């Protein structure tokens, strides 16, 4: 498809509405990835509290923790399809309100769950159930938030506005890392393992209430209002939509896999494979996320000027070439701390080149009538397979092969495939050529 997001739709209106949409759209993503980071950073603690029956090994518990993580990710496409369909039918605003309520409730409840020592085998099932609810709500979050942000974006600024969605990923992961680092500093190991790990999850409640207030004040997008009366006329063929979803997932799979590997799996990998302390692993993760955050907005802005494809393709190729050398620097005991810090910072910065233009690129692949569903499913499918399974795949493969280079191979391979998919991308920034689906959308929107 590769149809421009809303270049043919009505103007977005007052600048304050665009800014309000930007904040309301991105705040839910912050909460989602804050929890995502917290769960990843405390994976070893969660494993001990919920997945270690008497006599079970730590490695086995960690694998089960990542399996629960992966299961939640596989409910993201379900949520994307369910909430996306609602969002394309009844509007972006009411569905985004619903998903933020579900996400906040599920994450907060993790903070009060009884552990294995209290309720036995019921504990991991309760945790997995809440992870499933999180997966469903997260699946509905991305498509709606990106739709709102890009449909309200001023002309020629879709890349920058969409990049804020990725920027809040970095902020959420940094927030989770900051909370974990603060607790690791203030609490003893016994306190952290006993009750301290619950605090970051409970903090989601006030954040979620703030996000709910912002979304209650959100307007419906002009593009959705314009096409609401013409859904049947505007709907593209299902085969075209399915093809675009698969292609979109391929274009962002490297972003999903490399991002998760460098930004979330890294702490557990450094501890389990390179014997780093919890504090050292968190410092490395913070540096990686700082690098990630540093390039996202510039990459989104640059994509508004030169196109989505060259910026994202550069990021995918750089990961393919540099993943192994960067990881080898971390593994080398003779490498200075400063050089290791620079390596993880660069790794995060390269991922930001893909994450900045990514949301706008996905949004521009689908017309308004199927945008919430289409871009949400493309993103959710990619993340379910290549992010949700990353911890499980990497941990199991290291155990099986004994190779500590597996994370780098995983990131490089997925980015190589993404690079091939990105070569098929037709530029859809302001002024780029349109396709037949766009023309159908224009005629229907003019008819409104």
Mean pLDDT value of segment 90-117: 93
Q: What is the mean pLDDT of residues 6-27?
A: 70
Give the model's pLDDT for residue 438.
Answer: 46
Q: Residue 308 sits in which domain range?
A: 15-446
User: Do residues 356 and 168 lie in contact, with contact meaning Cβ atoms separated by under 8 Å?
Assistant: no
- Residue 216 is encoded by which pair of tokens? 């209650």
pLDDT at 184: 82
Instruction: Check residues 429 and 286 and name the one with the higher pLDDT.
Output: 286
Residue 8 domain-assigned?
no
For the cut 60, the answer to whether the pLDDT of residue 436 exceeds it is no
Q: Which of 346, 342, 344, 372 is nearest to 359 (CA)?
A: 372
Choose among 166, 149, 161: nearest CA to 252: 166
Report which of 69, 84, 263, 305 is spatially closest to residue 166, judged by C-alpha positions: 263
Q: What is the biggest distance separating any 2 CA atoms in the chain, rounded to whole angstroms?
A: 68
Report the alpha-carbon distance of residue 320 to residue 413 in Å, rounded: 7
pLDDT at 173 over 50: yes
In this structure, of 46-50, 52-56, 388-392, the range with the lowest mean pLDDT score is 52-56
For 104, the token pair is 């906040």
First CA to last CA distance, the chain: 23
Task: Report d(CA 299, CA 309) in Å as an integer.
Answer: 11
Beta-carbon count within 10 A of 180 CB: 28
Count of structural domains, the chain: 1
What integer best gives the mean pLDDT of the chain?
84
Q: Which residues contact 325 (CB under 8 A, 6 or more apart)?
A: none
Residue bearing tokens 């410092």: 283
Q: Does residue 324 contact residue 412 with C-beta atoms inside 8 Å?
A: yes
What is the structure's pLDDT at 431?
45
Residue 207 lies in a domain: yes
Dihedral angle over CA of 260, 242, 11, 94, nearest 10: -70
The pLDDT of residue 236: 80
Among 282, 102, 257, 251, smallest CA distance to 182 is for 282
pLDDT (mean) for 226-253 = 82
Bin 131: left if φ > 0, else alpha if -120 < ψ < 50, else beta: alpha
pLDDT digits (tens, 9 = 90+) for 376-391: 999 999 988 888 777 7
CA 91 – CA 377 distance, rounded (Å): 17
pLDDT band at 3, cuts 50/70/90? low
- Does 30 map to a domain? yes
What tens digit of pLDDT does each residue of 313-365 get? 999 999 999 999 988 888 887 878 888 889 889 999 999 999 999 999 999 99
pLDDT band, residue 439 (cuts 50/70/90):
very low
pLDDT for 159: 94
Q: Answer whether residue 10 is part of any domain.
A: no
Predicted confidence (pLDDT) per residue in 190-219, tens digit: 888 889 989 999 999 999 999 999 999 998
pLDDT at 417: 96
Tell me how far apart the alpha carbons of residues 381 and 242 are, in angstroms, rounded to a whole number. 12
Q: pLDDT at residue 12 above 70? A: no
pLDDT value, residue 428? 66
Q: What average pLDDT score do residues 21-41 get?
A: 85
Query: What tokens does 442 get?
Result: 């224009």
Q: How high is the pLDDT of residue 284?
A: 83
- Lowest-pLDDT choice from 182-196, 230-244, 307-321, 431-445: 431-445
Mean pLDDT of 117-138: 88
Q: Is residue 5 part of a domain?
A: no
Please give the structure tokens belonging to residue 331: 């593994």
Distances (CA, A) of 401 to 341, 385, 406: 27, 21, 9
Domain annotation covers residue 341? yes
| Residue 118, domain CATH | 1.20.1250.20
Q: What is the pLDDT of residue 437?
A: 41
pLDDT at 389 (0 to 100): 76
Pairwise CA distance, residues 313 & 5, whole Å: 20
Confidence of residue 182 (pLDDT cuts 50, 70, 90): confident
pLDDT given for residue 60 in this prediction:
62
Reported as a single tens digit per residue, the pLDDT across 256-282 is 999 988 887 776 677 767 777 777 777
Assess if residue 186 is contained within a domain.
yes
245 domain-assigned: yes
Confidence class of residue 61 from pLDDT cuts 50, 70 and 90? low
The pLDDT tens digits for 363-379 are 999 998 899 999 999 99
Alpha-carbon distance of 410 to 74, in angstroms, equals 19
pLDDT given for residue 188 in this prediction? 85
d(CA 298, CA 315): 13
CB 365 within 8 Å of CB 378: yes
């Amino acid at each position: 498809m590769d149809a421009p997001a809303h270049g043919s739709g009505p103007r977005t209106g007052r600048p304050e509405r665009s800014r309000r949409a930007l904040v309301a759209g991105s705040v839910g993503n912050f909460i989602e990835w804050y929890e995502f980071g917290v769960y990843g950073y405390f994976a070893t603690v969660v494993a001990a509290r919920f997945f270690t029956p008497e006599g079970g090994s730590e490695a086995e518990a960690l694998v089960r923790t990542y399996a629960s993580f992966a299961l939640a990710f596989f409910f993201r496409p379900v949520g994307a399809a369910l909430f996306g369909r609602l969002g394309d039918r009844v509007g972006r605003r009411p569905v985004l309100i619903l998903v933020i309520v579900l996400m906040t409730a599920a994450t907060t409840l993790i903070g009060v769950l009884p552990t294995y020592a209290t309720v036995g085998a019921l504990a991991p099932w309760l945790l997995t159930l809440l992870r499933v609810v999180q997966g469903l709500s997260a699946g509905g979050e991305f498509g709606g938030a990106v739709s709102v942000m890009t449909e309200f974006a001023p002309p020629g600024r879709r890349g920058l506005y969409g990049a804020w969605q990725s920027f809040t990923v970095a902020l959420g992961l940094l927030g989770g890392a900051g909370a974990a680092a603060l607790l690791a500093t203030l609490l003893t190991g016994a306190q952290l393992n006993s009750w301290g790990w619950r605090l970051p999850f409970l903090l989601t409640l006030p954040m979620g209430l703030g996000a709910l207030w912002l979304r209650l004040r959100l307007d419906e997008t002009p593009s959705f209002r314009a096409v609401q009366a013409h859904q049947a006329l505007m709907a593209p063929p299902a085969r075209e939509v399915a093809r675009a979803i698969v292609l979109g997932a391929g274009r962002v799979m490297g972003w999903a896999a490399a991002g998760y590997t460098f930004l979330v799996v890294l702490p557990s990998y450094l501890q389990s494979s390179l014997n780093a302390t919890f504090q050292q692993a968190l410092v490395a993760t913070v540096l990686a996320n700082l690098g990630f955050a540093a390039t996202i907005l510039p990459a989104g802005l640059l994509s508004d000027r030169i196109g989505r494809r060259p910026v994202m393709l550069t990021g995918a190729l750089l990961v393919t070439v540099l993943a192994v050398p960067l990881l080898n620097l971390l593994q080398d005991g003779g490498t200075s701390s400063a050089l290791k810090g620079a390596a993880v910072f660069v790794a995060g910065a390269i991922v930001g080149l893909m994450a900045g233009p990514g949301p706008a690129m996905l949004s521009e692949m689908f017309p308004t009538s199927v945008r919430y569903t289409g871009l949400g499913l493309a993103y959710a499918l990619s993340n379910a397979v290549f992010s949700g399974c990353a911890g499980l795949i990497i941990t199991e493969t290291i155990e099986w092969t004994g190779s500590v280079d597996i994370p780098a191979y995983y990131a490089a391979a997925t980015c190589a495939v993404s690079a091939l998919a990105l070569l098929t991308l037709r530029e859809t920034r302001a002024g780029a050529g349109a396709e037949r689906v766009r023309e159908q959308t224009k005629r229907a929107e003019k008819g409104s």
